[in-house]
Amino acid sequence: MSATFVGMPAFPSAARAALADTQLRHNLAHATGTIRDKRARVVAEVEEWEDLRLAGAAVKQSALVDLDRHLVRLEETLTANGATVHWARDAAEANAIVARIARDHDADEVVKVKSMATQEIGLNEALAEEGILAWETDLAELIVQLGDDLPSHILVPAIHRNRAEIREIFLREMAGVGRPAPADLTDEPAVLAGAAREHLREKFLRAKVAVSGANFAVAETGTLVVVESEGNGRMCLTLPEVLVSVVGIEKVVPTWEGLDPLLRLLPRSSTGERMNPYTSTWSGVTPGDGPQEVHVVLLDNGRTRALADDVGRQALRCIRCSACLNVCPVYERVGGHAYGSVYPGPIGAILNPLMKGTGDPQTDSLPYASSLCGACFEVCPVRIDIPEVLVHLRAEVVDGHRGDRVPKAEAAAMAGAAWTLSDARRLAWVEKASGLAGRALTRFGRTRLPGGRAAAGRIPGPGAAAWTGARDLPAPPRESFRAWWRRTDGGRTDHTDTETGEGS
Amino acid sequence: MSAREEILGRVRSALEGVDRTGTVPPAPRVTPVADLVGRFAERVEDYRAVVERCSEADLASRVAAALPAGARVVVPPGLGVEVPGARVDDGLSAAELDALDAVVTEAVVGIAETGTIVLDHGPGQGRRIISLVPDRHVCIVRAAQVVADVPDAIAVLDPARPLTWISGPSATSDIELNRVEGVHGPRVLHVLVVD
Ligand code: SF4
């Protein structure tokens, strides 16, 4: 697995660095806000949206619970259509297959359509080691590649860059890898897009080999589908002689009709359009039209691990629309890089641990990168219950640390709570103590929680300090319910507001 | 063990004990609109494409008017309308097509709900490359080809053929989420709806 960005710190430290970058936060807030509004408008237009979600989820789920049968069928139909099917257990195997195909055609470069799967396996780096250059042709990917940067969003990988930064990158970097940007380049989006068009056209016209992913792979008909906006996908899928598509095994859709709810759900959820500008489908080789040599690499790389998880399996329904990123309050503030993976945001927080397994500190920190507010589930076009999977994975992370010599902060805090709650006398004592602390904490509390409740800044004690370092905790009430009951005879003699003394 | 056997084996053991039955509810249909062709024209226009409605008799002159004076034009074999001076595609290379200005094609389906045109690259539509490389695409859609929504299109389309679904001109929203027409595909999409 090379899906974790090398040397990436665990989420909390990465997030702290990202939060300090005000330009980044500004770009993110603008971008996610814009796209959220667009999505909401076009989704509201579809009265049957909830039924459409049910249908979309069911299509993907039916593919997953019968995946072996559909994969065998897909292989059969693709082969009958003239495509060559390869299977790759992991990233290294997939990369080697693509490199071998390029070498067989003496290609020292390939053009690429934006594809999450090829990013996940680190294909560009693997090809570079073999002396093969991989050109990203999606505008955002080009910005990221030229800027020697990392993608930060599934759909808009350069969401963290504004137009002035993009102009700088084009002026500085294009000349080194092909047609230079015009000297009078402005930061008008149309002008920047025009420069990308000129820069990439010479690459499209001479490329012999293209690499793509696929949004869907129809088992019944042996059809691959690529959904895109710019036409760079069409260029790659049409112009070169050889096409290699790296397709995660979870992309299978059983039947041709099954594409229907998905093709209606995806564009509205992702770019907030009724339909994306271009969708291409192809079934193997079409004589005299497009690539005459077509390869499909079916990729596992951890997907079967996710499939084996009864709660987590649903994450494989994901159609990578990125709606969950745009509504996530955590993502909006820290951006994609802090997740340390090509799959950021809420879906990344579950997909990475599911595919890689828990156990390393970076992956283990991801299920905690959420406030469990549930907005991701609400927008997900295939109804992945992300909060449910997050909670499930948190349990797995905690289980994985049982027996550690130094317990995690959370485990210490929870163990303390269990000790206290399991005995009535201890509880009464702690309640009194925390009532005192509550008064102090209300006085010194740094902040107030939504709704105006007082918040405790940090609570004292070794384990607890780490646990509350990034969390707002309501200040404990000054009097416990048990004490209040005793004092007021169950409320019969109570005339005071014990919480804050303010009328409410 | 081959990668194929191993992956299929992992899938099978991951699904051990999983209930494989399960029904897929039919996807809901949109409420039908009375004026399907009108809805189609309106929705194509929303993508900032040029849309005109005309009669079969006017088609040739409308096509000519949609092409800038002196434009070098390519047409597919089997196009149902005469385009004077146009080159009929006989396997032009990408570089040759890059030197041309416009292409005229027909389509196979129009989708009213989403304003989408689908090409299946049969006669009158040509190879995928010819409607991609030139910067202006004039596309003829017949009123009878317009269907209500995506499922209707899927029902009539042949998955064995390569398909190109086109919803407006090439566009990107990659720079600060501003939609900009025209990156790699045709920057002008001119649709003639023939009633
Ligand atoms: S989890 Fe759902 S909302 Fe998030 S990217 Fe995947 S399909 Fe879209």
The shortest C-alpha distance from B143 to chain A (Å) reads 20
B6: burial class by Cβ within 10 Å (0-12, 13-18, 19+)? middle
Which residue, A361, A380, A364, A320, is CA-closest to A344?
Answer: A320
Q: How far is the CA of A318 from the centre of ligand 1 (A)?
A: 5
- Provide, as residue numbers in chain B, all residues whose Cβ is less than 8 Å from the Cβ of A263: 150, 154
Question: Does residue A57 have its Cβ closer than 6 Å to ligand 1?
Answer: no
Strand A455-456 and strand A473-474: the pairing is antiparallel
- Which of A38, A161, A274, A355 is the best residue to mutate to test the B interface, defined by the most B CB atoms within 10 Å of its own CB? A274
- Tokens coding B34: 């009375």
Take residue A227 and report the two structure tokens written for it: 């959904």
What is the whole-number distance in angstroms between the Cα of residue A327 and the centre of ligand 1? 11
Using CA coordinates, name the residue in chain B closest to A27: B176
Q: What is the pLDDT at residue A472? A: 55
Token pair 């079409």 in the structure block, residue: A286
* Residue A432, CA distances (Å) to A309, A455, A479, A483 in order: 44, 19, 7, 8
The ligand 1 atom nearest the CA atom of A383: 2
CA distance A327 to A323: 7
Please report the beta strands in A73-126, taking only residues with DSSP state E, as ranges in sequence order.
84-88, 109-112
Which ligand 1 atom is nearest residue A386's CA? 1
Instruction: Give CA–CA dist A113/A231, Å, rounded.
Output: 10
Nearest by CB to A289, from B25, B94, B121: name it: B121
Return the ∠ at Cα A277 (arms to B78 and A196), rounded to 5°.
Answer: 100
CA distance B108 to A21: 50
**Helix orientation angle between A386-400 and A345-356, rounded to the nearest 10 degrees:** 40
Q: What separation in Å is there between the alpha carbon of A149 and the centre of ligand 1?
A: 24
Global pTM reads 0.85
ipTM confidence score: 0.97
Dihedral, CA atoms, A372, A374, A380, A384, nearest 10 degrees?
Answer: 60
Residues from chain A contacting residue B39 (CB–CB below 8 Å)? none
DSSP string, chain B: --HHHHHHHHHHHHTTT-------PPPPPPPPPS-HHHHHHHHHHHTT-EEEEE-TTTHHHHHHHHSPTT--EEE-TT-SS--TTPEEPSS--HHHHHT--EEEEE-SEEETTTTEEEE---TTT--GGGGTSSSEEEEEEEGGGEESSHHHHHHHS-TTS-EEEE-SS-EE-TTTT--EE-SSS-SEEEEEEE-
CB-based contact, A91 to chain B, within 8 Å: no
Among the listed residues A105, A128, A84, A34, the one whose alpha carbon sits nearest the alpha carbon of residue A332: A34
- Please report, for residues A197, A353, B184, the alpha-carbon distance to residue B135 in angstroms, rounded to integers and kept in the order given: 11, 45, 9
Are A358 and A32 contacting, i.e. CB atoms less than 8 angstroms apart?
no
Asked if the Cβ–Cβ distance from B177 to A34 is below 8 Å, we say: yes
Q: What is the DSSP letter of A317?
A: G
Helix pair angle (A67-80, B3-14), 10° resolution: 150
Phi, psi at B186, each rounded to 5°:
-55, 130
Which chain B residues contact residue A194 at CB under 8 A? 182
User: Which residues of chain A are modeled with pLDDT < 70?
Assistant: 1-8, 403-476, 495-504
Share of chain B above pLDDT 70, in %: 100
pLDDT reported for residue A459: 43
B182 to A156: CB separation less than 8 angstroms, yes or no: no
Query: In this structure, which amino acid lies at residue A500?
Result: T
B13 interaction partners in chain A (CB closer than 8 Å): 308
Instruction: Tell me what pLDDT residue A424 has.
Output: 57
Whether the CA torsion A69, A70, A74, A75 is positive or negative: it is negative
Query: What rounded mean pLDDT belongs to chain B?
Result: 95
Angstrom distance (rounded) from CA B126 to CA B123: 6
What was the pLDDT predicted at A107? 96
The tens digit of pLDDT for each residue in B23-68 reads 889 999 988 899 999 999 999 999 999 999 999 999 999 999 999 9
State residue A402's pLDDT score: 77
Mutate to test the pocket of ligand 1, among A53, A64, A250, A321 (most ligand atoms within 8 A of CB): A321
Q: How far is B71 from chain A (nearest CA, A)?
A: 20
Is B19's CB within 8 Å of A65's CB? Answer: yes
Chain A partners of B3 at a C-beta cutoff of 8 Å?
86-89, 93
Ligand 1 atom nearest residue A325's Cα? 4
